[in-house]
Amino acid sequence: MTSATNPPDTLTPFPDHTQLPESNGTFVRNWQEHAQSILLTDSITPVLKQLHPDGQYCIGQDLGIYWRLTDPPEKGAEAPDWFYVGNVPPLLDGKMRRSYVYWREFIAPLIVLEFVSGDSAEERDKTPWKGKFWIYEQVIRPPFYGIYEAKKASVEVYHLIEGQYQLLAPNERGHYPITPLGVELGIWQGQYQNVELPWLRWWDLQGSLLLSGKERAEQERQRAEQEFQRAEQERQRADRLAEKLRALGVEPDV
């Protein structure tokens, strides 16, 4: 990890997640950001439970990643719209995380996702020590960095290779494999929370869409309904056959 500028002595000892601000006071910039984060988390949770049967992982949604101690403290944090970190406890000392303090946990997120609200300049800013792209690439260093633009129905995914982000090419399905998770990331045009939009979604490596909890429940309901209809059709066929046998003077076995 690239070393940060030494903080002034007046700011030591280093604070933890309970001592750092959990917000910089800004609002979520569009309605879709919140729904999009929920969709990503909901649909990948079954995969993460398989990868982490001990439950040792956390997901951040607009949660600050503190990477440098500054004054004020929030200037030393980036708050991705969505990120995942494996092999860390979901709670700290029995408390919900207020932030992810990199200097205390040392494990970088595997993937960080940013949802573009403006012209994407912020998400692609490579200015040393200030630009979001530079901070992710040179300091926080998640192996995968995704920039999602709903207005363009597109996502760019970068992979950290030899210390620099390389833009990945999509596969034949137009998706980006996130191999350590066993999933692909891509754009899905459809309805979620009663809104038709190009949503950022997960697929498995065979190309099957990972469903949200509501979608899984609806799929199970349809499966049960189809099973009921098949059973009803079988019962009706059996009744018709019995009637034919009785017409021929044959009492069917019950």
Determine whether domain 9-210 maps to CATH 2.60.120.
no
Element (H, E) at 6: none
- What are the extents of the domains in the chain? 9-210, 211-254
What confidence score (pLDDT) does residue 8 get?
A: 40
Reading the chain (254 residues) residue by residue, the pLDDT tens digits are 444 444 343 444 667 766 665 555 554 456 789 999 999 999 999 999 999 999 999 999 999 999 999 999 989 999 999 999 999 999 998 999 999 999 999 999 999 999 998 899 999 999 999 999 999 999 999 999 999 999 999 999 999 999 999 999 999 999 999 999 999 999 999 999 888 999 999 999 999 999 999 988 877 787 777 777 887 888 888 888 888 888 888 888 75
Query: In this structure, how many other beta carbons lie within 10 angstroms of the beta carbon of residue 200?
Result: 25
What confidence score (pLDDT) does residue 152 get?
A: 94
Burial of 4 (0-12, 13-18, 19+ CB in 10 A): middle
SS (H, E, C) 40-61: HHHHHHHHHHHHCCCCCEEEEC
What confidence score (pLDDT) does residue 5 get?
A: 42
What confidence score (pLDDT) does residue 248 get?
A: 82
- Residue 158 near residue 138 (C-beta atoms within 8 A): no
Burial of 50 (0-12, 13-18, 19+ CB in 10 A): exposed
